[in-house]
Amino acid sequence: MRIPVRFVPGGRRIVLLAAPLAIGGVALAGAFAYRSSAGAVAAQPPPVPDPALSVPAQPGLLVDVTGAVENPGLYRLPRGDRVFDAIAAAGGFSPDADMSRLPNLAGRLKDGEQVKVAFARTTSGTTIVRTNLNTATLEELATVPGFSMAFAKECIDYRTNYGGFQNTRELVDIMGMSEADYLIARHYLTL
């Protein structure tokens, strides 16, 4: 037995137009449902990392500059700096640096590296030992060429009363040391 199906006149056009609209509506509803479920997952806070394992690295490199530089010590420098930059941060070469035995100035620095600048040797082959003007004892200052025991005492009194020397030139400008004595003594002093 045959069931007669009769369409409404123009019904095929309605189906042809309504089918793509219905498929588009279903796709939009699916996209909305997917996005809202993905947003709910993203709204959850991330798990808290273990603070002992996630210590951030300190920025820059810590470098020890020693030897014949104006201000030897530890310096924090940016990553990628060269040995020349470390020496410049330490105040540059001192007058008694041996320029024939310099480290590789173009070498890249590594964290924890020690940069050594050699002292020039005297004609007898001994190395010049530098005395720190701000920390030396009375006896140590008295051994510096151009210093007497009385002048060494005045230097200690000055650094005690005024917080120390800012540069070695203050020996002439403030303390009254002769220029000739200063030219010799500066090779044996550091700050």
Higher pLDDT, 82 or 41: 82
Closest CA relative to residue 151, chosen from 161, 160, 142, 139: 142
Percent of the chain with pLDDT over 90: 9
Type and span of the H or E element at 158 = helix 149-162
Q: Is 121 helix (H, G, I), strand (E, B) or coil?
A: strand
**pLDDT tens digits along 10-68:** 666 777 777 788 898 888 888 888 887 765 555 566 666 555 555 455 678 889 998 88
Alpha carbon of residue 64 to chain centroid: 12
Phi, psi of 93 (to 5 degrees): -70, 145
Shared fold status for 61-117 and 131-190: no
Give the model's confidence band at 186: pLDDT under 50 very low, under 70 low, under 90 confident, else very high.
Answer: confident
Domain spans of the chain, in order of start:
61-117, 131-190
CATH of segment(s) 61-117: 3.10.20
Give the model's confidence band at 82: pLDDT under 50 very low, under 70 low, under 90 confident, else very high.
Answer: very high
Q: Is 156 helix (H, G, I), strand (E, B) or coil?
A: helix
Higher pLDDT, 115 or 177: 115
pLDDT computed for residue 53 by the predictor: 52
Integer Cα distance of 46 and 37 in angstroms: 17
Question: What rounded mean pLDDT belongs to the chain?
Answer: 78
Q: Is CATH 1.10.150 the right assignment for the domain spanning 131-190?
A: yes
Closest CA relative to residue 75, chosen from 112, 100, 120: 112
Query: Is 0.75 topped by the overall pTM?
Result: no
Higher pLDDT, 46 or 145: 145
